[in-house]
Amino acid sequence: MDNRPIGFFDSGLGGLTSIPYLRRELPEERVIYFGDTARTPYGSKAVTTIRSFSTEIAEFLVKCNVKMIVIACNTVSATCLDELQKRFPKIPILGIISPAAEEAASVCEPGSRLGIIGTKVTIASHAYQEFIGRFDPQFRIYEEACPAFVPLIEEGIIDNEIMDMTIRYYMDDFVLGNQLDTIILGCTHYPLIKANLTRIYPGLNIINPSSIVIGQVKRILSERDMLADHSDFTDVFYASDLSENFINMIDHIFADSEEFNEKKVKFMNFDLEKERLNGLL
Ligand code: DGL
């Protein structure tokens, strides 16, 4: 048993899409979340930059004494997982791609046509192809970068014609032209536009890594006897730019959650420069 919190991080608010599944599956667990909202998006940046940002955040979470780190960001998982695991060998670090790849390999029928959508960096890395390839899939895989989705989602432009047009711009040829039957939401921001995708492409199966990763969290913690056993928690949400957008999005994502309605959570602004000067980073 281990009652320390689990650390989650993302380039912004995308990783928050995993938290309701954690609440549902493992209600006793407490969370420290870090959204790098001041430097989002990561998905069009150089890998060296993403590496240095994500190392800083992982170091911070380790200093917060988390028992496990979940990289709730496909872009970081695709590019920095091995390095973060090597750098922090004492703490389990889980990327979001491998659990989703395993799920895709098990649910897609032979002959399926599977699409992966994600940021430029995730798609260029072919990390999903590589992980799925380990299961010797009997289906075809297609990939498409959709870089304008994240800035729109961070701005809360979701239930809106601009978002629908952007989806069609990137995805009409991709989904319809390739006759896809299934897609993986290869960016943790994308579950926030799942309803748009279902409306625009009815009948398309959607695999959501933000929910699937929680099954792996549970497996790893129970194998190591590290599940928490009390529910007296306060989740803490750090953002490097604690903007109104970030707080509004938390309200939106957790609209049905009792803890959030009772405001049993803390929001903290994390001043990157100040913390760096203080030696915390
Ligand atoms: N949410 C992130 C992901 O899963 C990254 C978005 C971004 O910063 O570009 O890839």
- Determine whether the shortest distance from the Cβ of 97 to ligand 1 is under 6 A: no
- Same domain for 148 and 134, yes or no, is yes
- Same domain for 82 and 101, yes or no, is no
The Cα angle at residue 216 between residues 221 and 248, in degrees rounded to 5: 100
Residue nearest to atom 2 of ligand 1 (CA): 73
pTM here is: 0.93
187 in a structural domain: yes
Residue 123 has a pLDDT of 98
Most confident of 153-157, 160-164, 242-246: 160-164
Residue 30 has a pLDDT of 92
- Same domain for 161 and 264, yes or no, is no
Instruction: Using pLDDT thresholds of 50, 70 and 90, give the confidence band for residue 281.
Output: low
What is the 224 CA–ligand 1 centroid distance (Å)? Answer: 29
- Same domain for 105 and 142, yes or no, is yes
Residue 215 one-letter amino acid: G
The Cα angle at residue 72 between residues 95 and 275, in degrees rounded to 5: 110
Residue 202 has a pLDDT of 96
- Same domain for 51 and 31, yes or no, is yes
- Same domain for 42 and 134, yes or no, is no
Q: Would you say 71 and 87 are in contact if contact means Cβ atoms under 8 Å apart?
A: no
Average pLDDT over all residues of the chain: 92
- Determine whether the shortest distance from the Cβ of 119 to ligand 1 is under 6 A: yes
What is the CATH number for 137? 3.40.50.1860
- Same domain for 13 and 139, yes or no, is no
- Determine whether the shortest distance from the Cβ of 8 to ligand 1 is under 6 A: no
Residue nearest to atom 8 of ligand 1 (CA): 41
Domain boundary among 208, 239, 265: 208
Overall domain count for the chain: 2
Residue 249 has a pLDDT of 82
Residue 259 has a pLDDT of 61
- Same domain for 89 and 223, yes or no, is yes
Token pair of 235 as six digits: 């989740």
What is the 196 CA–ligand 1 centroid distance (Å)? Answer: 19
Whether 263 shows a pLDDT value over 60: the answer reads no
Could you tell me the residue range of the domain that residue 80 belongs to? 6-95+211-277
- Same domain for 130 and 215, yes or no, is no
- Same domain for 32 and 163, yes or no, is no
Q: Would you say 31 and 5 are in contact if contact means Cβ atoms under 8 Å apart?
A: yes
- Same domain for 218 and 182, yes or no, is no
Residue 279 has a pLDDT of 65
pLDDT in tens, 131-156: 999 998 899 999 999 999 999 998 88
Atom of ligand 1 nearest to the CA of 11: 8
Residue 274 has a pLDDT of 73
Burial per residue of 31-49, b for 16 or more beta-carbon CB atoms within 10 angstroms, e otherwise? bbbbbbbbbbbbbebeeee
Instruction: Using pLDDT thresholds of 50, 70 and 90, give the confidence band for residue 242.
Output: confident
Residue nearest to atom 9 of ligand 1 (CA): 43
Whether 262 shows a pLDDT value over 60: the answer reads no
1 in a structural domain: no
Domain boundary among 208, 231, 249: 208
- Same domain for 103 and 190, yes or no, is yes
Provide the percentage of residues in the chain whose pLDDT is more than 70.
93
Whether 255 shows a pLDDT value over 90: the answer reads no
How far is it, in rounded angstroms, from Cα 274 to Cα 89? 28
What is the 127 CA–ligand 1 centroid distance (Å)? Answer: 14
239 in a structural domain: yes
Residue 280 has a pLDDT of 61
pLDDT in tens, 61-106: 999 999 999 999 999 999 999 999 999 999 999 999 999 999 999 9
Active-site residue set = 73, 187
53 in a structural domain: yes
Residue 122 has a pLDDT of 98
Domain boundary among 153, 173, 208: 208
Instruction: Using pLDDT thresholds of 50, 70 and 90, give the confidence band for residue 250.
Output: confident
